[in-house]
Amino acid sequence: MVWIPGGTFLMGSNAFYREEGPVHPETSDGFWIDRHPVTNAQFDRFVTATGYVTFSERTPMREMYPDAAEEFLVPGSLVFVKPPRPVSLRDHRAWWAYVPGANWRHPNGPNSSIAQKGNHPVVHINYEDAQAYAAWADKALPSEVEWEFAARGGLEGAAYPWGDAANPEGRYLSNTWQGRFPFENLAEDGFEGTSPVDAFPPNGYGLHDMCGNVWEWTTTAYAPAGSADKSCCQRKDVDPRKGLRVVKGGSHLCAPNYCLRARPAARQGESIDSSTCHIGFRCVVRGPN
């Protein structure tokens, strides 16, 4: 873990999406934070030690999803499926599918695996799963303030942890989408899908993957005003009774033509029962240095 000294910083952005503004000062006490998102190998140690079964590995209960079709009441999770041709960006169902058998061990479905991907971020993790791992590790999930403070790496007011250019001098400094989303991924950054958690340079605090690769859970409730919660990756059928938590940092699916959210200020609300192929987490420990 990395120690983040306490301090005051400018949180949010006025330059991108409504839910990120207005820019305002926030103060955080010092805390420790994981150097990178929790990996498949780390999560596997947790499961081996405890026998924990993740949300996507459990059979959904009819009372939780009274309107769900019968074929969806089986263990599974949401997986990105690249369409073969251009599609309307107005309907996320063109690239998201509920895949039976998809879970953290099988991120793209039952015929996929995490073999040789021990150092990739664990995915298909819902809020409860992340909380369970954190408790086992004697850690906690970060608040949104803590997460963004750490993500900025001490660089005040910049759009990205490294400055204001997304790809300075043509260099890719995070795992995002190149090409026309969702049907064309040129993988110019070297990856299609998740990447090893140390594949890209760290920020000023020595933290990897604070932008791109996978979204990360925080403990902060999400309740924006008006229609600002219609962000690009959020499910449109979220049941507000299930509660929303802020996820941060964007993912490998963030694309210039669709989602400019691989940035410290970016935020969206995610239903606590959501588990997808591009959401993971990292932990913090609060207390003295």
Which amino acid is residue 241, in one-letter code? R
Q: What counts of helices (H) and strands (E) characterise the chain?
A: 3, 11
Dihedral angle computed from the Cα positions of residues 54, 58, 62 and 67, in that order, rounded to the nearest 10 degrees: 60
Mean pLDDT in residue range 236-250: 74
Which strands form 31-33's sheet, in the order they lie side by side?
A: 2-4, 31-33, 284-286
What is the tens place of the pLDDT at every residue in 42-59?
Answer: 999 999 999 999 999 998
In this structure, the number of other CB atoms found within 10 A of the CB of residue 17 comes to 21
- Give the pLDDT mean for 104-115: 97
Please state, for a pLDDT cut of 90, what percent of the chain lies above it: 86
Helix (H, G, I), strand (E, B) or coil at 244: strand
Q: Where are the domains of the chain?
A: 1-288
CATH number of 1-288, picked from 3.90.1150.10, 3.40.50.720, 3.90.1580.10, 3.40.50.2300? 3.90.1580.10
Question: What does the pLDDT read at residue 255?
Answer: 96
Q: What is the three-class DSSP state of 24?
A: strand
